[in-house]
Each structure stands twice: as structure tokens, then as C-alpha cells.
Amino acid sequence: MKKAFIKSYGCQMNVYDATRMADLLGREGFVETGAVEEADVVVLNTCHIREKAAEKVYSELGRLRVLKGERAEAGLDTTVVVAGCVAQAEGREILGRAPGVDVVVGPQSYHRLPDLLRRARTERVVDTDFPVEEKFDHLPPRRAAGTSAFLTVQEGCDKFCAFCVVPYTRGAEVSRPVAKLLAEADRLVAGGARELTLIGQNVNAYHGEGPDGAVWSLGRLLRHLAGLPGILRLRYTTSHPNDMDDDLIAAHRDCLAVMPYLHLPVQSGSDRILAAMNRRHDADAYRRLIDRVRAARPDIALSSDFIVGFPGETDADHAATLRLVADVGFASAFSFKYSPRPGTPAAESADAVPESVKSARLAELQELLERQRQGFNHATVGRTVDVLLEKPGRHPGQVAGKSPYLQAVQIEAGIETVGTVVPVRITRAGSNSLFGELAGAAPAAAA
């Protein structure tokens, strides 16, 4: 049996792509292994969004080179594949920088992986095409999924925010046709999935061809999926504020399956910085949008992404970001120091913010966001919420799942409850998980 080790960095799209590469390699007779030293093929599915993410790849490749040498001494071949967005951005350069690499393959051409592996027996190969053929048509059907599964509905981005590599690494925005998505969703549900998270770099820009010939929006797609048997929960990520249309907001109001959680990156609360970032909306437009979303679904939990230290950001701009956070209130958030990415417009800017200032601003922002997150979690204590149970918990006899608001929840229950939604009374909030008990369960001593 040949073995493959696949490691993914970065966003959920990469997690999805890694599962599809595993499906492909499975069809070629590989079994997946978690032990890199026994792998005949090692795939690093890389992320290029910030410098740190990209640099991780090269330190990992250094370790792999040593491992490859040790395996060679034992008479074993190892094929090292760099996939994902670093592969797309750096292409052939990777071969020069990392001598142990055999295959470089971009996110739009990984369906050719079996062929690339065959060619790699005799040469080092690079494929960073944006091919005309549909990648998804060349991938095998999805294998059994877990309780919660990702479904790629849209890829790429046409927004060109000044800091972001995505439009270059993932290419132009493309929506998959509805019929293909429904077929994939069917297989996932048949394989045990109860929650689908629709993913795309800019997923709420979805505009796929419907079976009726019309163009379907994300709102329409969600409404349709919400009506299908077996699908208990729907989520989607990640979105741009300017693509939150009325129909999508209404889907949050009308569809019980659409979870009351919205990840809507704003990046900054300063109008000047938002303009420099080419986000094409101002801070008040974001506040008004959040008001509309909350009017439709009052209990919705909000999440966002923030960048501190974008070129030219002043103390006043940073204060405006803190004000926006204080005004909106987030249940969770990701925040980053600005990292110049080669090829993006912002990387050309001269007025860089000093590293020490970036660090101080990040600490201040994260402190506020963390207080909001803890406040949100503590407010759940004493309430009864529906929990989708997904997997065994940290300790025997425990099962782990998610609240509608994407909080991790641990309860005492048998493993047979995995895959069901149960009402749970939250009794305690830890720093990263909530703890609770089945609501309405008979007291243990009653019988």
C-alpha cells in the first residue's frame, strides 16, 4: 500500500482542497497517513496570505529534505509536492529554493496531480495553470464526510483589496453551477454530513447558473439547500460587506437551517484606511449593514477580520477601528498585523507603520476583541441552545459539538449521539469551550 501525507495551512478552502487531493490520491491507490516519515508522497497545501504563513513552508521543506535523504538511504522514494497558494505565487522559484521538491501544483490545477506524480518519476514538474477545463469535473466523487462538511461553491475574487494576494493566487471569481453543488451536497448528506459550510474566497458574491437557467444568488442557494432533507445546518464563509444583499439577509430571517452566525470581515474602522485598502465602503456603511442583519436575525453572532498597521495608519485611524469594534460587538474575530505581499498595490506604499507600533495596536485590538468574545460566551451560560454533536469529546464519555453561534460545546453523552442536534443547557464557559448538559434529560438516579 502506498501512503500519502497531506498537510494543509491557511483557510478553509485549503482544508477542502486537501480533502479533494486525498480523494484523488485514494483513487490512485494511496492511503492517507498521519505519520510523515512513512509517506511515499508528501503534500504541503500552502498559504500565501501573510509572510509568516509563506515562510512556514520553507522551514517545513527543509525538514522534509532531511527526511527524504534518510528514506532514500533505506531504499525508499519520497515525492514532495508543494500545492496551494505559495505554489501558485512562486511557481518554479520553489524548485530553486527547495531542492527536495518534486512537484509544484497550483490550486486550480491539482486535479492533474496523478499525472504530475507520474511525470515526477523522471523530472521535476511545475503546473500553475488556470486551466479552461473545470477542475471539479475531474475530481472523484466525495468520500464519506464527517458530520460537518465544507462545500466549495465559489472560488477566486474580483475585489482586489490593496493588501490581498487572493485575486492573484486563486484567480478571478468563478461560481460553480447549482446542479453540481446539489449533487455534491447529496453525496455529503448520504455520507453522514448534517451541516454544510458553503465556502469561497468571496462566497456571498456567488452567482451560479441555476437548473432553471437563471442566475442564483447565495441567498437563493441557501433557501434551496435549507429545504432538502438531511441538511440540518447551513453556514457560509467568507464574505465581503458589499455583497450582503437583501435576499441573503432575508435568508437569515426565514431559514431555520441557516445558522445565526456571520463572518463579515471589515478590516478597519477608519474611512481613510478603508479607502486606501480599496474596500469600497466606509465604516458607517458597515454599521448600517450590521443593523439590517440584526433586524432580520436579532440573535446573530458576528465575526470579522482586522488588519492593523496598514501603510499610513495613524493613531486616529486605529482609534476608529477600536470604536467600530466597540459599537458592533463581535462574538469572535481574527486580527493580523499588516504584512506586505509581493505584487499587491499596498506593498508599493512608502509609509510603512513601524513593527513596534503594529504590535502595540494588535495587542490593544485583541484585548478588546477577547473581552467581547468572553462576554459573548459567558452570556450563553444558563441558556439552552441546540448543539450539533460532531465527535468524541476530550474525555471518555464526552461528546463535542457546536452551538448555533459556532461555539465549541462539550457534554456528557454517548458516542451514538454524534450526528444529532440536541438541546443543551450551558452550565459553564471555559476559555475556549462551553460545557453543558442535555436539557430535559431525566435525572440519572430517577430509575
Q: Could you list the residues that contact ligand SF4 (CB under 6 A)?
A: 157, 159-161, 164, 166-167, 201-202, 240
Q: Does 330 contact ligand 5AD by CB under 6 A?
A: no
- 157's contact among ligand 5AD, ligand SF4, none, with CB below 5 to 8 A by partner kind, is ligand SF4
- 339's contact among ligand 5AD, ligand SF4, none, with CB below 5 to 8 A by partner kind, is ligand 5AD
Q: Does 307 contact ligand 5AD by CB under 6 A?
A: yes
Task: Name which of 13 and 125 has its Cβ closer to ligand SF4.
Answer: 13
Q: Which of 87, 82, 47, 48 is nearest to 65 (CA)?
A: 82
Among 163, 236, 261, 435, binds ligand 5AD (CB under 6 A): 163
Q: Does 339 contact ligand 5AD by CB under 6 A?
A: yes
- 159's contact among ligand SF4, ligand 5AD, none, with CB below 5 to 8 A by partner kind, is ligand SF4
Name the pairing type of β-strands 148-152 and 398-402.
unpaired
Task: Name which of 32 and 305 has its Cβ closer to ligand 5AD.
Answer: 305
Task: Name which of 102 and 173 has its Cβ closer to ligand 5AD.
Answer: 173
How far is Cα 51 from Cα 342, in angstroms, rounded to an integer? Answer: 9
- Least Å distance, CB 432 to ligand 5AD, is 21
- Comparing every residue's Cβ against ligand 5AD, the nearest one is 305
How far is Cα 109 from Cα 83, in angstroms, rounded to an integer? Answer: 9
Name the pairing type of β-strands 398-402 and 384-392.
antiparallel
Task: Name which of 297 and 341 has its Cβ closer to ligand SF4.
Answer: 341
Q: Does 243 contact ligand 5AD by CB under 6 A?
A: no
How far is Cα 401 from Cα 411, in angstroms, rounded to an integer? Answer: 8
Report whether 280 contacts 251 (CB < 8 A).
no
Q: Does 336 contact ligand 5AD by CB under 6 A?
A: yes
- Least Å distance, CB 346 to ligand SF4, is 11
Classify 354 as helix, strand or coil: coil
Cβ neighbours of 250 (radius 10 Å): 15
How far is Cα 83 from Cα 85, in angstroms, rounded to an integer? Answer: 7
Q: Which of 407, 398, 396 is nearest to 434 (CA)?
A: 407
- 338's contact among ligand 5AD, ligand SF4, none, with CB below 5 to 8 A by partner kind, is ligand 5AD
- 240's contact among ligand 5AD, ligand SF4, none, with CB below 5 to 8 A by partner kind, is ligand SF4
**Which range in 279-287, 311-319, 338-346, 378-386 contacts ligand 5AD by CB under 6 A?**
338-346
CB contact burial 124-162 (16+ within 10 A = b; e otherwise): ebbbbeeeeeebeeebeebeebbbbbbbbbbbbbebebb
Report whether 189 contacts 144 (CB < 8 A).
no
How far is Cα 445 from Cα 447, in angstroms, rounded to an integer? Answer: 6
Q: Does 164 contact ligand 5AD by CB under 6 A?
A: yes
H helix or E strand, kind and range, residue 152:
strand 148-152
Site of interaction with ligand 5AD (CB under 6 A): 49-50, 163-164, 265, 267, 305, 307, 336, 338-339, 341
